[in-house]
C-alpha cells in the first residue's frame, strides 16, 4: 500500500533557513519558510519511513510520530546534525536554504550605529552540507538536492548534481508566480542523469508526493 513503500527506511531531511549571528540581536537569514521540507517529512513518514527532520528557525509544527525533529539555528549546527544522522540513513533530502556565508566573528555586544555612513561585515563560507554528504555517501545511500536558480537553471542544476554527487535535483522555478519561497504552492522540475521532468504548479503537499515517488523509485532500483 501507499503507506509502507518506505517502511524501515531512514530518511534525513533538512528544511528551512539558517540564521547566522551578527551580534546578540541580529542575524543574516533568508525567506525560506520550511514548508517544502516539512511537507516532504510528512510524506516520507506517511509512506512508512523513519524521518529525522533537521529544521532551521521556522514557525511550523510536526505532526507525525515517525518524525524525529532536530531544531538548529546556524549552518554549522545543521551541518553537524546532518553529518551525524546521515551515517545511519538510506537517503537524505536537502531542502534547507542554508546560508552560504556567515559573519567571520560574532560581536558580543550590540553593534552601535557609527558616525561613518558604512559598516563592513566580513563573511566566511559555511560548510556545504550537500557536498559533504556527497563525499560521505555509500553506494546504497541516495541524496536529493534542491536548486533555486535565477539564470542558466538547467546548466547550473546539472553542475550541482555532479559536484555534490546527488542522485537527483529538484529545480524550483522563480519565474512562476506561486512557486518557491513563502508560497503554499510550488512548480518544480526533477533533473537526474536520465534527463528532466517538468511538473505543473501544485500544492507543496502534492509536490512532496511527486518528489517522494521519485525517491522511492531510485531506492528500489538498487533493490531489484
Ligand atoms: O549550491 P546551492 O546552494 O545552490 O545548492 C543548493 C542545494 O545544496 C540545496 O539542496 C541545499 O539544501 C544544499 N546546500 C547545503 N549546504 C549549503 C548550501 C546548499 O546543503 N551550505
**Does residue 165 surpass a pLDDT of 70?**
yes
For residue 97, the ligand 1 atom closest to its alpha carbon is 12
How many angstroms does the Cα of residue 118 sit away from the middle of ligand 1?
30
Q: Is residue 67 part of a domain?
A: yes
Known catalytic membership, residue 184? no
Q: 14 pLDDT band (50/70/90 cuts)? A: very high
Q: How many CB atoms lie within 10 A of CB 199?
A: 16
Q: Is residue 159 part of a domain?
A: yes
Grid cell at residue 36: 517544502
pLDDT at 208: 97
Q: Is residue 154 part of a domain?
A: yes
pLDDT at 178: 66
Q: Is residue 2 part of a domain?
A: no
How many angstroms does the Cα of residue 97 sit away from the middle of ligand 1?
7
Q: Is residue 114 part of a domain?
A: no
Q: Is residue 116 part of a domain?
A: no
Query: Closest residue (by CA) to atom 2 of ligand 1?
Result: 147
User: Region 115-135: what's the mean pLDDT?
Assistant: 94
**Does residue 115 surpass a pLDDT of 80?**
no
Residues spanned by the domain of 54: 10-107+123-223
Please report, for the domain that includes residue 160, its CATH number. 3.40.50.10300
Nearest to 20 by CA among 58, 57, 61: 57
Q: 176 pLDDT band (50/70/90 cuts)? A: low
Q: 124 pLDDT band (50/70/90 cuts)? A: very high
How many angstroms does the Cα of residue 72 sit away from the middle of ligand 1?
16
Spatial distance between the Cα atoms of 62 and 35, rounded to a whole number of angstroms: 11
What is the ipTM for the molecules in this complex? Answer: 0.94
Between residues 14 and 186, the one the model is more confident about: 14
The DSSP line for 2-62 is TTSTTTT-EEEEEESB--EEEETTEEE-----SHHHHHHHHHHHHTT-EEEEEE-S-S---
User: Region 121-127: what's the mean pLDDT?
Assistant: 97
The residues, any chain, with a CB within 8 Å of residue 27's CB and separated by 6 or more, are 19, 20, 21
User: Region 19-27: what's the mean pLDDT?
Assistant: 97
Q: Is residue 112 part of a domain?
A: no
**Does residue 130 surpass a pLDDT of 80?**
yes
Measured in residues, the chain has a length of: 224
Q: Is residue 113 part of a domain?
A: no
Tens digits of per-residue pLDDT, 197-210? 999 999 999 999 99
Question: Considering 30, 172, 184, 221, which one is annotated as catalytic?
Answer: 30
Nearest to 101 by CA among 9, 193, 29, 168: 29
User: Structure pTM?
Assistant: 0.95
Dihedral sign (CA 97, 102, 106, 109): negative
Grid cell at residue 54: 533537521
The residues, any chain, with a CB within 8 Å of residue 17's CB and separated by 6 or more, are 29, 30, 31, 32, 34, 56, 57, 58, 96, 97, 99
Specify the number of domains making up the chain. 1
Amino acid at each position: 500500500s501507499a503507506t509502507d513503500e518506505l517502511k524501515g527506511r531512514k530518511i534525513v531531511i533538512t528544511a528551512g533557513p539558517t540564521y547566522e549571528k551578527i551580534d546578540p540581536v541580529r542575524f543574516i537569514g533568508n525567506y525560506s519558510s520550511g514548508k517544502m521540507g516539512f511537507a516532504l517529512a510528512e510524506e516520507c513518514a506517511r509512506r512508512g519511513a523513519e524521518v529525522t527532520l533537521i529544521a532551521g528557525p521556522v514557525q511550523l509544527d510536526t505532526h507525525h510520530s515517525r518524525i524525529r525533529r532536530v531544531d538548529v539555528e546556524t549552518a554549522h549546527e545543521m551541518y553537524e546534525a546532518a553529518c551525524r544522522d546521515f551515517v545511519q540513513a538510506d537517503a537524505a533530502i536537502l531542502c534547507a536554504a542554508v546560508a552560504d556565508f556567515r559573519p567571520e566573528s560574532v560581536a558580543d555586544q550590540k553593534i552601535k550605529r557609527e558616525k561613518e555612513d558604512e559598516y563592513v561585515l566580513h563573511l566566511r563560507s559555511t560548510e556545504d552540507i550537500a557536498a559533504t554528504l556527497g563525499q560521505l555517501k555509500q553506494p546504497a545511500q541516495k541524496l536529493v538536492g534542491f536548486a533555486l536558480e535565477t539564470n542558466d537553471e538547467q546548466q547550473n542544476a546539472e553542475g550541482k548534481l555532479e559536484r555534490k554527487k546527488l542522485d537527483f535535483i529538484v529545480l524550483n522555478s522563480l519565474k512562476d508566480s506561486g512557486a518557491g519561497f513563502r508560497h503554499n504552492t510550488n512548480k518544480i522540475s526533477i533533473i537526474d542523469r536520465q534527463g528532466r521532468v517538468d511538473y505543473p504548479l501544485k500544492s507543496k503537499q502534492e509536490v512532496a508526493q511527486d518528489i517522494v515517488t521519485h525517491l522511492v523509485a531510485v531506492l528500489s532500483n538498487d533493490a531489484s
